[in-house]
């Protein structure tokens, strides 16, 4: 399928000012603003990250790019280009493959991302799509996982839990939000929630050599988490879903207590920002009740 | 498997002067010499590009990186970093996964390539490994597929055919050779032979809006091509294998006739360089016999 499909893709992938040489050669040539580049890669598999037979293939392509943009957002990096590799089952039609790319290209256009090429293959097994996204670091340098300090507030964008009901496809990567916040405020650290709020928070805390306390009553729980908990009371409370479902693709940020207050008061972005707890010197993760009792919280979420 | 494996990988991936931020964050940060970067990606699948059960897993990891370095070589680009995504079947052990990375890291060390991160996953289907390689353009700019002119000589490195007997794993990507030739001589165009000499030559010719004539008696045929033809005379002659087997990962270069003579006389690299024909104005591909008769040659090779 390669030659026909690549010809279609060359016609469909728009020009981009930073894509000096695009699809059709052995590699692409990108022109960046500086000599540093930010690189991330995510592989999505049918039956794991989506079920192709149950969904619009455009959503698969969109998600494959969106998860990468979310990683760049976590670094406060502006996305520039995406390189897409795909292994398509021989049983699906060229139209489905094109629909996957249509979904991807639509999101790429929204975020000003160039499609810089990749690799197309077919095989007798389920669909695999890998995207590598390349971004530019912001002027004040990338945001990392390792800068949180004891006493910092834990700020999060958006709501958590129940993304399986649809948000894991349709989420908006918090690129603009991260760029805006990183430019206006002194952010100490950041991570995006791909695997679970508690799990990803524990990762950020570990990289920063500190611990974290989550205030149970402060976690913004999505309506989807309530719906899931209602359907299956055995599978945990809405809060449990919010803490461990994953694929929320919201940001966790570490900022000083004063900055957190300012940010929450300023409302600088269109997405809600909530202070859900604080970083502490002792490594570990705790859930604090309204009465102030702290219980050890086992980080839970999706392990690949 | 992710956290244990990622911890192992962080310990095993060596530091690199251009890897400002490596494995362990949402993305990697690379420092390049200029503001341009060269990017390519290849996805390898069990049962298509290798048979995991029949080979040393180290060779799989090595090949996954080597095919990408070959793409960078075709652009005369110096490799800097690799981002590795993998979907590992739940049936294989962590030791096998580590062996795949060992093979990859060994080649990375030889070529000075940083392992900048990636994505590790497990699933219930065959192994998929995707690598995105990032390189730096050479000072005189990248070599592309589109610069061949009618009258140019077709130069190739190495020998062709029968790579399935082992060379498709153990080939040396022609990175140093490409950098050396591009710096010393005026190369007009280049491509690496991944899918087949005749198919990849036809791609280069098409991108250059010209045609090509191959002199049948000049094609350097590998011993493996002779061995394959002897085993299965029905599957074509040694020359047929050389023209269409693919995975030789040698370079096809377009240079002026004078430059070709100089290069062949100079022997500037340790690998044989052979003039196998010439580019012509008329689009198409022909095979010329020693008597000078030209026959149309259908580009053949591996279609993904």
Query: CA–CA separation, B176 vs B160, rounded Å?
Result: 19
Count Cα atoms within 13 angstroms, Cβ side, for B107.
Answer: 29
Percent of chain A with pLDDT strictly greater than 70:
99
Residue A264 has pLDDT above 80, yes or no: yes
pLDDT in tens, chain B (304 residues): 577 888 899 999 999 999 999 998 999 999 999 999 999 999 999 999 999 999 999 999 999 999 999 999 999 999 999 999 999 999 999 999 999 999 999 999 999 999 999 999 999 999 999 999 999 999 999 999 999 999 999 999 999 999 999 999 999 999 999 999 999 999 999 999 999 999 999 999 999 999 999 999 999 999 999 999 999 999 999 999 999 999 999 999 999 999 999 999 999 999 999 999 999 999 999 999 999 999 999 999 987 6
- B207:A24 CB<8 A: yes
Tens of pLDDT along A191-231? 999 999 999 999 999 999 999 999 999 999 999 999 999 99
- The per-residue DSSP string of A280-292 comes to ESSSEEEEE-TT-
For chain B, give the mean pLDDT.
Answer: 96
pLDDT of residue A304 exceeding 70, the answer is: no
Q: Closest approach of chain A CAs to the CA of B260, in angstroms?
A: 22
> What is the C-alpha end-to-end distance of chain A, expressed in Å?
31
CB-based contact B82:B38 (threshold 8 Å): no
Q: Which of A64, A97, A130 is the mutation pick for testing B, counting most B CBs within 10 A?
A: A130
- Nearest-by-Cβ selection for A29 from B26, B119, B137: B137
- Whether B135 has its CB under 8 Å from any CB of chain A: the answer is yes
How large is the C-alpha radius of gyration of chain B? 20
Q: What does the alpha-carbon distance between residue A62 and residue A59 come to, in Å, rounded to a whole number?
A: 5
Question: Token pair of A249, please?
Answer: 């693709």
Please state the separation of Cα B264 from the chain's center in Å. 22
To test the contact with chain B by mutation, choose from A19, A25, A127 the residue with the greatest count of B C-beta atoms within 10 A, namely A25
Asked whether the predicted pLDDT for residue A1 surpasses 80, the reply is no
Give which of B75, B251, B43 is closest to B160, Cα–Cα: B251
Provide the CATH topology of domain A153-295. Phosphoribosyl-aminoimidazole Synthetase; Chain A, domain 2 (3.90.650)
For A235, counting Cβ atoms within 10 Å of its Cβ (0-12 exposed, 13-18 middle, 19+ buried), the class is: exposed
What confidence tens digit (pLDDT) does each residue in B231-289 have? 999 999 999 999 999 999 999 999 999 999 999 999 999 999 999 999 999 999 999 99
The whole-number pLDDT of residue B4 equals 84
pLDDT of residue A303: 73
Write down the residue that tokens 């080979």 correspond to.
B55
What is the phi/psi pair of residue A238, to 5°?
-55, -40
Q: Is the pLDDT of residue A272 over 70?
A: yes
What is the enclosing helix (H) or strand (E) of A107? helix A94-110
Q: How many CB atoms lie within 10 A of CB A160?
A: 29
Could you tell me if B134 lies within 8 Å of chain A, comparing CB atoms? yes
Least Cα separation, residue A212 to chain B (angstroms): 18
Instruction: For domain B153-296, give the CATH superfamily.
Output: PurM-like C-terminal domain (3.90.650.10)
Neighbouring-strand partners of residue B133? B40, B82
Q: What does the block give as tokens for A216?
A: 């149970």
pLDDT digits (tens, 9 = 90+) for A124-172: 999 999 999 999 999 999 999 999 999 999 999 999 999 999 999 999 9
A positions 166-225 inside 8 Å of B (CB): 190-192, 207
Chain A closest CA to B43's CA: distance in Å?
6
pLDDT at A3 over 90: no
Q: Does B18 touch chain A (CB under 8 A)?
A: no
Phi, psi of B215 (to 5 degrees): -85, 110
How is chain B split into domains, by residue range? 2-136, 153-296
User: ipTM > 0.85?
Assistant: yes
CATH class of the domain whose range is B2-136: alpha beta
Yes or no, beta carbons of A33 and B35 under 8 Å apart: yes
- For residues B33 and B37, give the distance between their C-alpha atoms in angstroms, rounded to a whole number: 9
Query: Hey, of A17, A20, A41, which one would you mutate to test binding to chain B, going by the most B CBs within 10 A of its CB?
Result: A41
| Whether the Cβ atoms of residue A106 and residue A58 lie closer than 8 Å to each other | yes
């Amino acid at each position: 399928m390669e030659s026909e499909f690549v010809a279609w893709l060359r016609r469909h992938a728009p020009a981009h000012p930073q894509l000096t040489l695009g699809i059709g050669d052995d590699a692409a040539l990108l022109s960046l603003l500086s000599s540093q580049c930010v690189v991330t890669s995510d592989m999505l598999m049918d039956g794991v990250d989506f079920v192709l037979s149950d969904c619009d293939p455009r959503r698969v392509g969109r998600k494959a790019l969106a998860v990468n943009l979310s990683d760049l957002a976590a670094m406060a990096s502006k996305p520039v280009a995406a390189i897409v590799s795909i292994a398509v089952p021989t049983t699906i039609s060229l139209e489905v493959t094109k629909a996957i790319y249509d979904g991807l290209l639509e999101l790429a256009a929204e975020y000003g991302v160039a499609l810089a090429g990749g690799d197309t293959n077919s095989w007798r097994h389920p669909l695999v799509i890998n995207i590598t996204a390349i971004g530019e670091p912001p002027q004040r340098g990338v945001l990392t996982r390792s800068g949180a300090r004891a006493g910092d507030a834990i700020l999060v964008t958006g709501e958590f839990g129940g993304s399986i009901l649809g948000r894991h496809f349709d989420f908006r990567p918090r690129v603009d939000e991260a760029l805006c916040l990183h430019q206006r405020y002194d952010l100490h650290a950041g991570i995006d929630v791909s695997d679970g709020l508690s799990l990803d928070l524990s990762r950020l805390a570990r990289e920063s050599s500190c611990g974290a306390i989550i205030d149970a009553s402060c976690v913004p729980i999505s309506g989807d988490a309530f719906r899931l908990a209602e359907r299956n009371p055995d599978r945990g409370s809405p809060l449990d879903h919010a803490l461990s479902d994953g694929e929320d693709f919201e940001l966790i940020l570490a900022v000083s207590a004063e900055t957190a207050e300012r940010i929450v008061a300023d409302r600088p972005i269109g997405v809600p920002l909530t202070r859900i707890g604080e970083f502490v010197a002792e490594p570990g993760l705790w859930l604090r009740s309204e009465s102030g009792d702290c219980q050890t919280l086992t980080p839970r979420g999706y392990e690949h």
